[in-house]
Structure 1
């Protein structure tokens, strides 16, 4: 956990660097968080008290560089402050720890199972999610929960997160035209939340069905000698 002296002069988010100049190792490290964020943006469209950051610096100590997970989710904070959005996530300004951090493992070991795991536990992030698409003999998705200051592995390919009100899991699907295994959010009944593309497709199908019903009704009226246009 982190604590700050309220009388100390701490740098603001506008004064801190907004990048650690570390390149993203592969496309999945951006695409997977993008999917998770886009689904939340639709599921929680009317809620303004959450934030999902992607490759954004989290400042937890004014004397140290930011940590930059592939993604993180915070609850109970403003979704955005102004039209310029956040440049970084500064804990002494936000006053809320991220509730979940995500790392998508690349072919280069960046300490996801060791140093990062220990650091995130020390900072007090409740959930730590690791997705490793390159694993064959071990689970590709691991979800840890902080219990007594240490991470405990939660079982299953789909894990319910009661503090968030959603489950996170993996399954094959198509996102941005790419068929593969993706991470998704699920509701309490285990139903997967739609991506924006899936929701748009469903809305289009429902509109086509509604139009077809109208056309069938018009044909039925005409068969009975009634002009449907005269009813409008």
Structure 2
């Protein structure tokens, strides 16, 4: 069979890190990890301090930040805005997050570092002349987002920056986790399987240190609890059945004893003997 696209054996084919995005200005369109990880963050970001209608979660959504330059935007991998109204009508779902309309900046932004974006994520790139500000400048100086988190899955490294006097300071993480008091949740790396993929994932935990379950995990737990309740009910029914069987045997023995006693009384009477005198 003729190969349609033969490559010379000595040619080294480009990897996924070499092939550019369809948009030269966006070198990293979401890959599989950038689908799974933001989804896990969204499913476990269940704040006890805010109703679900009063905070907005978004991933890979254009964030427009400058009313003087309305086409400038950044696209965080994941962010949450506290105090913003969640859209409940399909027709009103956001196409983007526009600061001058929302008037509320994100509370937390998370970027998932990759070999092509790490320098910009960490503020190592300089702003080019007549170009929009860098991601770091937007988060730190323009929007002044209180918490900026960067997770590098290749190095299993979690870096957290907190805004202090208008500048980001890197937090020294205790046991590799950070508590976000205003959100009422913490962030930490979790070793486990999500959507059938084993790895270290960034997810939220509660004040007791327990992982916030995903809807699937909650459903599994409810099913397991229902199974345990059913098993307990089955055991109770089995015990009740055994008790009933024992009672039935006792009743049968009592009836048999009564019949035997009556048989003896009848025999004594046949012999002209008063049974009560015996």
Normalising by structure 1, we get a TM-score of 0.81
State the match for 1:162 in structure 2. 181
Taking the aligned partners of 1:101 and 1:20, their CA distance within structure 2 comes to 24
Aligned to 2:271: none
- Quick check: 1:69 aligned with 2:88? no
Which of 155, 161, 185 is equivalent to 2:204? 185
Q: 1:214 is matched with which residue?
A: 233
CA distance in 2, matches of 1:47, 1:221: 46
Give 5+ residue unaligned stretches, structure 1: 1-18, 227-232
- RMSD, matched Cα: 2.4
Distance in 2 of aligned mates of 1:102 and 1:60: 17
Query: Residue 133 of structure 1 corresponds to which residue in structure 2?
Result: 153
CA contact (8 A) 1:42 1:196 kept: no
1:113 aligns with 2:118: no
The equivalent residue for 1:195 is 214
The residue number in structure 2 matching 1:15 is none
Shift of 1:25: 4.7
- The answer to whether the Cα contact below 8 Å between 1:36 and 1:184 also exists between their aligned partners in 2 is yes
Residue of structure 2 aligned with 1:101, choices 96, 101, 109: 109
Question: What is the aligned length?
Answer: 205
SS of the residue aligned with 1:224? helix
Give 1:67 shift: 1.1
Aligned partner of residue 198 in structure 1, secondary structure: helix
Q: Counting helix residues as a fraction of each chain, which structure ranks higher?
A: 2
Partner of 1:3: none
8 Å Cα contact 2:47/2:185 also seen in 1: no
Determine helix, strand or coil for the equivalent of 2:121.
Answer: coil
With over 3 angstroms needed to count, the CA separation of the structure-2 counterparts of 1:20 and 1:59, relative to structure 1, is: farther
Post-superposition offset of 1:162: 0.9
